[in-house]
Structure 1
């Protein structure tokens, strides 16, 4: 006989899977058992629940207590099962009415004094609860996060005692205020401004193109030419996330436990892992198949500085996500799929010493050192990069005499206008992912593009990406069609066959 049960959730990637938490209290030797493939954190819920009950003046009955997590063949991981176990026990002990609890799912971790601590994945739980037409009980600190999941009843409680009083009608928990999660109230993070950059007109141009079309970008050149400085200013040019994008990115950060203060992300994320990052850290994985940097950069920017210094396995693992916009992680105990539609930006030196081509500074192994260094990046990965720019060094004197450049604000406005044209023409798709049949290319421009592709031996992918960049150039010029001048400029940013 089941005395009480309540809904909770197990996680598969960013998806929340419904789980029943069943409680049976029967005669027999006193025991407290949790079954249904619990991990160590779930098994330790026994002691946290017991201590929480003691702190509010309750004691577990001296009987055999069995908690069953259904379905039993799905692994249950995480401390978020503490609260549903406690609520199901309270209902089974008739401390709170079962009918009141049955309308809610629950997630939350218990402290020994009965306080509720934040847990990962509340946003995904709220979304799943909305599809099941149920409310959600969660820690007070995550009430605003849960509200983003849908129009459902949210009980955000600071502690277990408040929940008991609420379900018994002694105390009313105030619902979270939705106005607090309005994206207009989320402060913008300060980003470096383009006005700090002097000169570098071509670098500024390719940065604007990359921002406008969502294109991947490779910056190469000797040390000190401004590669990292340019990349750091890309986030300031990108438009705010749409509601759909914000929800998707926030779910990833919620599942990873990185959503600060329960606030949804408004701005595109910017991730810049060190080149010592492992393949699992970059792509995702580990014992619990956690999201990697490419998923945390979803609808944002992934910047890899010193690109050839990353492990070859990690770089090659980027190829599929760059094409599909998602990554599937298969492990013996888990198989999950994470979104990974990121904008890839990378920087590299021309060789290990960094001064290839400078006769006064290059090492004695030139030019072989440059060939070996560039060979660390495979051709298939380079073929997936839309824009490539070889940056040239400049003297400190020329830098000091250059006037300051255009600030980020007007550039960001042009980027927003170009994005609006793309979304209207391509039904919300950026140029970087658009198909050829929607790009609107003139006959002369198409013939030029075909000649360029043949002359420089572009692959079919390279030809497509050439036209996508040309489409972005046309959008920034407010042109309805791609003209020959747009194709010619796009061709200057494309890596040729045999070019490092």
Structure 2
């Protein structure tokens, strides 16, 4: 439910994105007769039993998979560790490049796959590890093996890691949630507008997420306090180069949401909190 609601706070599709989305769903034979289908961002939620071909693409006709059908939208993978290992690992290249190449005897097909991945997993097979509400019944070996199903390289490609807490009944039953979503969307759209203005002279990036290391240096200067905080995090958490750049991009986005021209210490500190602790 939370993942489906996530789409409601994303910026509206641009004209270019609408055309791209319509073309993809037309190729897949999923374009609905109603034009409204291309006006909203895609939300794809394949079952954890989905095959490599179903998720990545391929088959006899080398058709697009779920990651391409989620282009410009959200790919929701519930119970992430329950997906086949080869399916999970196949996400590496698309998550990095925003595209996927499907090769068959008839030729190679290059499909776009620029999606937001939202994945969920339990802390253990029974779901109650470290819970204060119920006792976990899993053996430690089961917990370790379960957590190992998501490899380091895949976890490193996920920008934000959050431990979801139990939602109170009052919050679930609140009639104001829709209004909150609309307010959040306006903030997101303002932040997106700031990014488009920032990158108007760039060809390879128009959002913070697509910044290259060169662009990070050009558009994301850090003050001394922020640099020292980031250095300490990299050394203590043994973060990769990818995680280092990821933290700066997240911090830049947090600053945009707050309509702050510069990245501050508080933005870097918050971005670090979203990194996995192992």
Shared fold, TM over 0.5: yes
Mapping of 1:105-254 within 5 angstroms? 229-254=1-26
For the Cα contact (< 8 Å) 1:439–1:482, is it kept in 2? no
Query: Compared with structure 1, are the counterparts of its residues 305 and 403 closer, same or farther at alpha carbon in structure 2 (3 Å cutoff)?
Result: closer
For the Cα contact (< 8 Å) 2:156–2:242, is it kept in 1? yes
Query: Compared with structure 1, are the counterparts of its residues 410 and 335 closer, same or farther at alpha carbon in structure 2 (3 Å cutoff)?
Result: same
Query: Compared with structure 1, are the counterparts of its residues 286 and 480 closer, same or farther at alpha carbon in structure 2 (3 Å cutoff)?
Result: same
Report the Cα distance in structure 2 between the residues aligned to 1:241 and 1:364, rounded to whole angstroms: 44
Greater fraction of residues in strand: 1
Mapping of 1:206-355 within 5 angstroms? 229-261=1-33, 263=35, 265-355=38-128
**Out of 215, 218, 221, which is 1:441 matched to?**
221
**3-state secondary structure, aligned to 2:38:** coil
Q: C-alpha displacement at 1:403, in angstroms?
A: 8.1
User: What is the match of residue 466 of structure 1?
Assistant: 247
For the Cα contact (< 8 Å) 1:474–1:480, is it kept in 2? yes
Report the Cα distance in structure 1 between the residues aligned to 2:21 and 2:44, rounded to whole angstroms: 13
For the Cα contact (< 8 Å) 1:442–1:483, is it kept in 2? yes
| Greater length-normalized contact order (CA 8 Å, ≥ 6 residues apart) | 2
Greater fraction of residues in helix: 2
Mapping of 1:398-477 within 5 angstroms? 398-400=168-170, 404=174, 406=177, 407-427=180-200, 429-435=206-212, 436-444=216-224, 445-477=226-258
Report the Cα distance in structure 2 between the residues aligned to 1:294 and 1:401, rounded to whole angstroms: 32
Query: Compared with structure 1, are the counterparts of its residues 288 and 363 closer, same or farther at alpha carbon in structure 2 (3 Å cutoff)?
Result: same
For the Cα contact (< 8 Å) 1:439–1:468, is it kept in 2? no
**3-state secondary structure, aligned to 2:161:** strand
Query: Compared with structure 1, are the counterparts of its residues 262 and 440 closer, same or farther at alpha carbon in structure 2 (3 Å cutoff)?
Result: same
TM-score for both structures, normalised by structure 1:
0.51
TM-score for both structures, normalised by structure 2:
0.90
Report the Cα distance in structure 2 between the residues aligned to 1:230 and 1:430, rounded to whole angstroms: 24
**Out of 387, 393, 396, which is 2:166 matched to?**
393
Q: Which moved more, 1:257-266 or 1:279-288?
A: 257-266
Structure 2 residues not aligned, in runs of 5+? none
For the Cα contact (< 8 Å) 1:320–1:327, is it kept in 2? yes
Report the Cα distance in structure 2 between the residues aligned to 1:474 and 1:453, rounded to whole angstroms: 21
Report the Cα distance in structure 1 between the residues aligned to 2:219 and 2:249, rounded to whole angstroms: 7
Report the Cα distance in structure 1 between the residues aligned to 2:173 and 2:27, rounded to whole angstroms: 46
**3-state secondary structure, aligned to 2:33:** helix
Query: Compared with structure 1, are the counterparts of its residues 364 and 465 closer, same or farther at alpha carbon in structure 2 (3 Å cutoff)?
Result: closer
**3-state secondary structure, aligned to 1:429:** coil
Report the Cα distance in structure 1 between the residues aligned to 2:266 and 2:15, rounded to whole angstroms: 36
Find the structure with the greater CA-based Rg: 1
Structure 1 residues not aligned, in runs of 5+? 1-228
Query: Compared with structure 1, are the counterparts of its residues 403 and 447 closer, same or farther at alpha carbon in structure 2 (3 Å cutoff)?
Result: farther
